[in-house]
Amino acid sequence: MAESFHDLPLAERLQLTRRGTAHYSGQLALLENSEFSGPTALEGWTRAHLIAHVGYNAAAICNLMDWATTGIENPMYPSPDARGKEIEYGATLIPDALRNLHDHTVARLDVAWRDAPAAAWEAEVLTAQGRTVPASETLWMRSREVWIHAVDLGVKAGFSDIPKVILETLLPEVVGKWRKAGTGEGIILVNDATGERTEVAGEPATEIHGDLAGLVRWATGRGTNGVTVADGGKVPTPPRWL
């Protein structure tokens, strides 16, 4: 049975999230300032957009930890529109300002987690998607961000660098979102290394084969490298998951 990030002790989840942050920070450090205007794996976003997003995401999660600690409502963003405008503004900043944004918000978030009292981790907060979750969920929210976006920067990182437990948590999450949205009918993801099958009910059946990293890469919309279709045909475009 696949291991889930959510079943790990809090200290292990925090460690994995910090590892992901260090991994992302290392990829960012490899970029020259002149490369910030380059494209990413996300349509319409330059590296500057992505770096701004990851920085502002850390600040937004700080809001949730403040909410959990004080009991005073403090949403991630004022509105979806405000979030989008913030990222667009951040993308106009010079590279050194974006590096400072990253360093500052990462430090703030780490302190927020470090200083959170035990009760705060179970306090309920509201995500930007409108889900009510315990504040401990912020570790998964952030871990998912930094491990995936380290790849999206397009420097050296790949999905094979992501810890197995992160990948094993991501794949069923993506499929679950497809099911909830009524998309992905008939898709069957087959891990060739283990034979494990993750299915979305419906017809016609389409088997996507690959290793775990390749399946997660495809399912999250990051390309077809490492996956094939059982009948040898063209690998389809996956449904949106976020």
Integer angstrom CA distances of residue 113 from 4, 14, 64, 137, 210: 21, 8, 11, 12, 36
Domain spanning 164-229: which CATH class is it, in words? alpha beta
**Is 128 strand, coil or helix?**
coil
| CB 206 within 8 Å of CB 229 | yes
The domain ranges of the chain are: 5-157, 164-229
Pick from 107, 104, 98, 100: which is nearest to 18 by CA? 107
| CB 165 within 8 Å of CB 5 | yes
Burial (CB count within 10 angstroms: exposed 0-12, middle 13-18, buried 19+), residue 33: exposed
d(CA 58, CA 71): 19
Residue 115 pLDDT > 70: yes
The 10 Å Cβ neighbour count of residue 182 is: 10
Q: Is the dihedral of CA 152, 176, 55, 106 positive or negative?
A: negative
Q: What per-residue confidence (pLDDT) applies to 186?
A: 93
Q: What per-residue confidence (pLDDT) applies to 219?
A: 97
Domain 5-157 shares a fold with domain 164-229: no
Look at 35-39, 228-232, 236-240 and tell me which has the smallest mean pLDDT. 228-232
The 10 Å Cβ neighbour count of residue 96 is: 10
Looking at per-residue pLDDT, the higher value among 1 and 135 belongs to 135
Phi, psi (degrees; rounded to nearest 5) at 183: -120, 170
Q: What is the CA radius of gyration of the chain?
A: 18
Confidence of residue 48 (pLDDT cuts 50, 70, 90): very high
CATH topology for 5-157?
A: Four Helix Bundle (Hemerythrin (Met), subunit A) (1.20.120)
Tell me the whole-structure pTM to 2 decimals: 0.95
Residue 1 pLDDT > 80: no
**Cis geometry, peptide bond prior to residue 239 (ω within 30 degrees of 0):** no
Burial (CB count within 10 angstroms: exposed 0-12, middle 13-18, buried 19+), residue 11: exposed
Tens of pLDDT, residue by residue over 92-112, are: 999 999 999 999 999 999 999
Integer angstrom CA distances of residue 215 from 7, 167, 221, 234: 22, 9, 10, 15
Q: What per-residue confidence (pLDDT) applies to 231?
A: 80
For the chain, give the percent of residues with pLDDT over 90.
93
Tens of pLDDT, residue by residue over 144-191, are: 999 999 999 999 999 999 999 999 999 999 999 999 999 999 999 999
In our burial notation (b when 16+ CB lie closer than 10 A, e otherwise), range 112-135 reads bbeebeeebbebebebbeeeeeeb
Residue found under tokens 């809001």: 63
Q: What per-residue confidence (pLDDT) applies to 60?
A: 97
Confidence of residue 54 (pLDDT cuts 50, 70, 90): very high
